Chain A
């Protein structure tokens, strides 16, 4: 019977019910969509990696995909292990296929990757590799004999690769010859057949391993060794046993560990985004809270009647909680359906990247499981129940005799938690912030933010009352009434203000964090990009790749150009610092000339004490991530694993690096060249002489008599591209913030809509006393503005506090980089004024019932 009554109430208040449903549905949809997109992208990456490794039980590798390889002689050691059934060496590298697109650019620089597409090359011993991945055997074209693949210049292409080189992927139209550019040189290859690997969608070429070593200039090297073990062998045991035989920087990892490593690269970003998307759900919960609070207030006489008729407190409590649960469940189901649609749409439209760059190039389809859907639907139910619980408690605690006679909100039991809980939550937040992160994710910092938010929200009503009490009484009578109402009836107003404080504070926090990050990044880019021009081929292999690296003769040619005062050569290597942690992504070793002005450009944060004994060791400069993840400190001597040998180096200082959250280290190129024979160049920075003409130098670079097609950019262009990429990666967060603000405004709207009804007798009396409709509108507008101003004020302070946690704790623990605090005062002021105006307008529009003729008749209603 009660269920019927309560469901009828939801139907009767359809507008508010729909609003609460929309809040929950939006939150669930955003949370689920972000989760599905991220999981799909990760799944796609892991599936691709597993496809290329086939049924391998273990892989031995030096760093990530595209990493520099290791000595192929390791194959013999590995194969000699009695538990290894078969070992298959692999070269994995990317090469650029370049159409002959005429260069129409007349500006100073080329657009990156113009007219260029990348094909992934897998160099294998086909007969061995086919045992692990039968797809490698492929299907030869009739014109080629079965041994054609043993020739180093013959390849098998999958459909995506065939589409890249022309003919739309159809066999009959596919050209039999094509060229790729590697290390600045062009190489002609013959298509011998096709190889389709289910699970790998990108352009892929299979080539004989010897051919790959030649093509990628990696003679005597392999990228990894895929191993099949004797059946029944524990792969983790073998990995541990092999670890002692592997040279420094080379690790043996199981497919599960490889999965963890690929997921770890984007883990912090994904978790941050998911937490942010749940903010919308959080504010959705507040919308339920505000609508339920007012709904309870409105029906207090009705509840008192139920209690008088014999309904127990428990039954009333359960019915009200069930009301919230029904709202949450419906909202959760709608949100889940919407979230899946959003994820499918976003994956089809934008890929799995969401602008972050972590999954660039993947084209995943939405991957989800029923438990995931059930989890997000249950989050909706939890938000509904949480939103209904506090008002329900207030309803059951109300004395029926008083409630049944009381009018409007007069004497209503506050639906808000007691003040001490607010202080307790703030103290808890402070304690949580003192504790370190675990599992490399700032879970406790997120909890601290939640505790701080809830604590301040619990204190908002009393804070509002205290603030209003010190505001000088205005002369305007209507303004006086507004102040009096909010000061003396904090309960109903607080229900509306909580949504505004929650959404606005989170918006301000994100704004300060993003502005601080962007300003710090811009300053960093200005420091790092302190040369006139930058030259590279393709992506330059900044992740540690070699296929686009330039050789020293190209470097020398650039150095010798007229107008070039100085050319610095940069080389990137991907290395594993701690081979006992194969799931830890490798760090990037950057080699470059280390002059004092270069160090200045590195944004050095901390140096070793000048009197530290260096033992004449070469300096290495580590990024904050290396310091955090490996515990290295300036002044310490560490071992640098390089091509199977470890070199002692002196940690000269810590520098800021916004490019690589898993760490980067810089050493002098001269030192590096003494240790290795690797003289490749990934990037060249050019300092022009004072009288040089930049356009002439660019033209000279383009006219160099080399095969490599070089990309040239000046510092301003790279800065622009970098900041554009930053803005893209935060586009999703802006969308989530706007959603949260709309939810907050919807809360205000619900508050005033409900108050217009519950205060109808008050407005009716005022109309009798000679208050005009316009003055009632002014009264509502003033109350809305006052609530907006209080919400903005409290939200600003809370937002700044949350921003400090995001900047100095969450970011540091998630991405291992620091930033300077930049507070956008003007933007914050504009947003605050906009919020006050919007809440005022929302109050007037939502409270139009207060101006209707019905309120005049309401004075006759028996309270």
Chain B
């Protein structure tokens, strides 16, 4: 589904600059849920941005469902993100001036869904993340856990092929984080979405189907005892 071949990323133009990573090879199958781990500065977020077409590669290729990505063609990758990717951020990033319903509807409106379909899908997502009674609330009226639930609903509302989550529980307490991770996993399963979750947390990584470690030497499987 997602195929990364000989991917190298170097910030700066000169070949002498030390690469963030070099000659990465990675394959993720459809419906697979993978945790991406690594030390701070290892390039996890950079890899996520490259997969999303937000950051150009130095060399190597990325294909999603057979479609090659080129971040230099901005319109094409923007459309690709809009239709096929979902994002969850550590800081939630809900629009403060939109209510819960409108925040979840954001990707649907971007993808020009009809109002009836938007209403039905958002209602469905609200129910599945357990926020059916909060549809008219503004983000400032929600707790951190509730905000991340809204973010999960927003990320999956348009049925993306690939979900990218960057430290989704980093701002949450352990109990809430666990609840959110369980919800995330169940929603990924329910929507049959392929997902990569960047995390430092072993607990979070354990919820994934598999975990990989990003080091200078490349991506290595991370095994838990």
Question: Which residue numbers of A lie inside 8 Å of B, CB to CB?
Answer: 407-411, 477, 480-481, 484-485, 487-489, 761-762, 764-765, 767-773, 856, 859-863
Contacts and interface: CB of A to CB of B under 8 A. Distances in A.
A762 B109 CA distance: 17
B82 A769 contact: yes
B110 A771 contact: yes
Contacts of A771: 78, 82, 110
A321 B171 CA distance: 36
Contacts of A484: 95, 97-98, 102
Nearest to A770: B82
A856 B49 contact: yes
A489 B82 CA distance: 26
A769 B96 contact: no
A762 B93 contact: yes
B79 interface: yes
Contacts of A767: 54, 78
A489 B97 contact: yes
Contact of B81 (A409, A481, A487, A768): A768
B140 interface: yes
A409 B55 CA distance: 28
Nearest to A860: B45
Contacts of A862: 90-91, 171
Given A408-B96, A761-B91, A859-B93, A770 B140 contact: no
Interface in B76-109: 78-83, 85, 87, 89-91, 93, 95-98, 102, 106-107, 109
Contacts of B82: 769-771
Nearest to B94: A765
Given A410-B96, A770-B81, A770-B110, 4 more contacts: A761-B93, A767-B78, A768-B81, A863-B91
Given A484-B98, A768-B87, A773-B74, A860 B140 contact: no
A438 to B, nearest CB: 49
Contacts of A485: 97
Contact of A859 (B91, B95, B98, B106): B91
Contacts of B112: 477
Nearest to B171: A862
The list of the 4 closest CB pairs from A to B, nearest first, reads A770-B82, A488-B97, A410-B96, A765-B93
B99 to A, nearest CB: 9
A678 to B, nearest CB: 79
A770 B90 CA distance: 18
Considering residues B75, B97, B112, which has the most beta carbons from chain A within 10 angstroms of its beta carbon? B97
A853 to B, nearest CB: 8
Contacts of A477: 109-110, 112
Nearest to B85: A770
B125 interface: no
B81 A769 contact: yes
Contacts of B171: 862
A410 B141 CA distance: 11
B85 A772 contact: no
A481 B103 CA distance: 11
A146 B93 CA distance: 99
B139 interface: yes
A399 B49 CA distance: 36
Contact of B140 (A411, A761, A764): A411
Interface of B: 45, 49, 52, 54-55, 74-75, 78-83, 85, 87, 89-91, 93, 95-98, 102, 106-107, 109-110, 112, 139-140, 166, 171
B81 to A, nearest CB: 4
A859 B89 contact: yes
Given A761-B93, A860-B90, A769 B102 contact: no
A489 B81 contact: no
Nearest to A771: B110
A770 B77 CA distance: 8
A408 B139 CA distance: 13
Contacts of B102: 484
Contacts of B140: 410-411
Contacts, number: 80
A487 B98 CA distance: 10
B91 A772 contact: no
A770 B106 CA distance: 10
Given A410-B139, A410-B140, A768 B52 contact: yes
A366 to B, nearest CB: 53
Contacts of B91: 407, 761, 859, 861-863
B106 A769 contact: yes
Nearest to A476: B109
A772 B107 contact: no
Contacts of B93: 761-762, 764-765, 859
Contact of B107 (A762, A769, A773): A769
B97 A772 contact: no
Nearest to B166: A860
Nearest to A765: B93
A762 B98 CA distance: 12
A487 B95 CA distance: 13
A40 B147 CA distance: 67
A567 to B, nearest CB: 77
Which has the most chain B C-beta neighbours within 10 Å: A485, A765, A773, A861? A765
Given A477-B109, A484-B102, A768-B54, A762 B78 contact: no
Contacts of A769: 81-82, 87, 106-107, 110
A100 to B, nearest CB: 79
Among B45, B49, B55, B112, max chain A CB count under 10 A is at: B49
A487 B109 contact: no
A335 B218 CA distance: 62
Nearest to B79: A770
Contacts of A481: 95
A767 B107 CA distance: 11
A765 B89 contact: yes
A474 B82 CA distance: 21
A410 B112 CA distance: 28
25 contacts: A409-B96, A410-B96, A477-B110, A481-B95, A484-B98, A488-B96, A489-B96, A761-B91, A765-B89, A768-B85, A768-B87, A768-B89, A769-B81, A769-B82, A769-B87, A770-B78, A770-B81, A770-B110, A771-B78, A772-B74, A772-B75, A856-B54, A859-B91, A860-B45, A861-B91
B180 to A, nearest CB: 18
A541 B102 CA distance: 77
Contacts of B49: 856
A860 B91 CA distance: 8
A769 B109 CA distance: 11
Contacts of B52: 768
Contacts of A411: 96, 140
A17 B74 CA distance: 35
A762 B95 contact: yes
A223 B109 CA distance: 86
B193 to A, nearest CB: 16
A848 to B, nearest CB: 15
A481 B55 CA distance: 26
Nearest to B75: A772
Contacts of A770: 78-83, 85, 107, 110
A487 B90 CA distance: 27
B46 to A, nearest CB: 10
A484 B95 CA distance: 10
> Which of A477, A485, A770 has the largest number of chain B CB atoms within 10 A?
A770
Contacts of B98: 484, 488
Contacts of B97: 484-485, 487-489
Interface centre among A411, A488, A489, A768 (most CB of B within 10 A): A768
Nearest to A862: B91
Nearest to A406: B140
A465 to B, nearest CB: 11
A682 B171 CA distance: 91
A488 B52 CA distance: 31
A760 to B, nearest CB: 11
A149 to B, nearest CB: 87
A626 B90 CA distance: 78
A521 B91 CA distance: 66
